[in-house]
Amino acid sequence: MNPLAIIGRTLIALTREAGAMSLFAWRGVSAALSPPWYWSQLGAQFLRIGYFSLPVVGLTAVFTGAALALNIYTGGARFNAEQFVPNIVVLGITRELGPVLASLMLAGRVSAAMAAEIGAMRVTEQIDALETLSTDPFRFLVGPRILAAVITVPMLVLVADIIGVLGGWAVSTQILDFNGATYIRNTVDFVTQWDVISGLIKAATFGFIIALMGCYHGYRSKRGAQGVGRATTNAVVSAAILIFAANYVLTTLFV
Amino acid sequence: MSDMPETSETPKISIRGVHKSFGSNHVLQGVDLEVCAGRSMVVIGGSGTGKSVLLKCILGLITPDSGSIIIDGKPVTHLSERKRAKVMAKFGMLFQGGALFDSLSVWENVAFRLLYADGLGRKAAKERAEAALNQVNLGAEVMNLSPAELSGGMQKRVGLARAIVAKPEILFFDEPTTGLDPITADVIDNLIRRQVTALGATAVSITHDMGSVRKIADDVAMIYEGKIIWRGPVKDVDNSGNDYVQQFVTGSEDGPIKVLAR
């Protein structure tokens, strides 16, 4: 086959996919920001994305903070800079690891669940049924999920920031012989508002990506168990890749 | 529904020259069909002949490539979201698999349009849902069950209750008896006939179950290779003079319709 034809076909397919995703995102955001709002749906999504993700996010954060403290201590010891553990832990957690790792866990948990649920609704004609019942599926399904994710993921990341720092504190005080009060004072003195806020801006962006990928791939799910399975996989993989890409772009803007 | 002859008044539903293709698969190739108010039209045809696509085009779930769908004299093919919702308010639809919402209870499924589209309070909506469930011979004991706890026949009846609860002008039935045992299928057919008559609604059904056709149809149209090849009153379906219809009605392997070719 002509290699130019392959390249052309791939580019056209990529452009078509990007266009479809952009239109989907536009309809989803429009639905999220304009009435009518389905409050019961929004409340349910707050619970599913936010409250029920707390254990996963908390455990991820505590172990990340703890491992980070150990690594920074080991690396710092080579330059006699062990005392910087609290400073670098809080910087790493708030600006980078808190939002990225929490969002990656949520991509696995939330994007997959959204894609599977909406995909199953697609193949069992429940989405068609919504339309015949004079209810816009974008307002009923997509809008509440996007809105809930954009609001709750930063809240989860804020919790992850606190738990991550506490993970570092626990290891530093229990294993590395740091003084607990000094550790906390160094952390608080060092961290700036922008460190936290830039992480939360990242989290809101990642929340949008998580919900968008879950809804988009679920909504376009093909028939059958295989179709729903593929939609779920695509949602998680594309959300994870887009989170990494968006993280790089945002980091370049924020440094 | 009645044996009334067709009149010259504006048809309730008019389908003119509708084409729809999916890639190289030309599913609808110029469908023309009219359904008069208060009549029950059943579209028959084999699997893969375009029955479901035609129904979804009328409902606005699929946009035709060309041609027009006219409801009450007004074209509905390209409508805004708001106008589409107004047209949908005239419709009630029973899906093949029921398409009940897993996350909601039976009564919330039945009352869905009242709760979410019409803004009715939960108490009033629940009363209307209970009345609709009674009309399809289901009692209050199923109201709080989840759809997954119901049998196939019960799910169809809940789907029918959801279709009729807002008293629609036009009812659509997609393979209403598929997957049901003969007795339950007969129950569903009788319920459909009774409810369509009670509402004075226009009905459009698609099926390949001839028992169902004889129960619920006033008029029958046969679709084959994306076109309507015959239409007439149900009493003529056995003597249509059309070889395709004759083969379909008798369920014979011999005839112009080649199964392997589809």
Query: Which H helix or E strand runs over B231?
Result: strand B227-233
pLDDT, tens digit (0-9, with 9 covering 90-100), for A225-253: 889 999 999 999 999 999 999 999 999 99
Domain spans of chain A? Answer: 38-254
Give the separation between CA B214 and CA A216, rounded to whole angstroms. 43
Structure-token pair, residue A246: 């968006």
Interface ipTM: 0.88
Per the CB < 8 A criterion, the answer to whether B129 and B111 are in contact is: yes
- Nearest Cα residue to A159 out of A102, A106, A90: A102
Residues of B in contact with A132 (CB under 8 A): 59, 61, 88, 91-93, 172
Residues of B in contact with A140 (CB under 8 A): 116
How far is residue B7 from each of residues A48, A65, A71, B11, measured CA to CA in Å?
56, 79, 85, 9
Residues of A in contact with B113 (CB under 8 A): 133-135
pLDDT, tens digit (0-9, with 9 covering 90-100), for A119-134: 999 999 999 999 999 9
Contact B59 A131 (CB under 8 A): yes
- Nearest Cα residue to B136 out of B109, B163, B175: B163
Phi and psi for B75 in degrees, rounded to 5? -65, 135
Q: Measure in Å the smallest separation between the Cα of A46 and chain B Cα atoms.
A: 16
- Most trustworthy range by pLDDT among B152-156, B227-231, B248-252: B227-231
CB proximity B81 to A under 8 Å: yes
Which one of B76, B81, B86 makes the best mutation probe of the A interface by having the most chain A beta carbons within 10 Å? Answer: B81
pTM of this prediction exceeds 0.80? yes
DSSP class of residue B235 equals G
Give the separation between CA A218 and CA A25, rounded to whole angstroms. 13
Omega into A36 within 30° of 0, i.e. cis?
Answer: yes
Strand order of the β-sheet with B25-35 is B25-35, B13-22, B66-71, B74-75
In chain B, whose CA is at the least distance from the CA of A138? Answer: B81
The pLDDT assigned to B3 comes to 43
CA B85 to chain centre: 18
Q: Which of B59, B92, B116 sits opposite A135 (nearest CB)?
A: B116
In chain A, whose CA is at the least distance from the CA of B84? Answer: A134
The pLDDT assigned to B260 comes to 55
Q: Measure in Å the smallest separation between the Cα of A132 and chain B Cα atoms.
A: 6
CB proximity B99 to A under 8 Å: yes
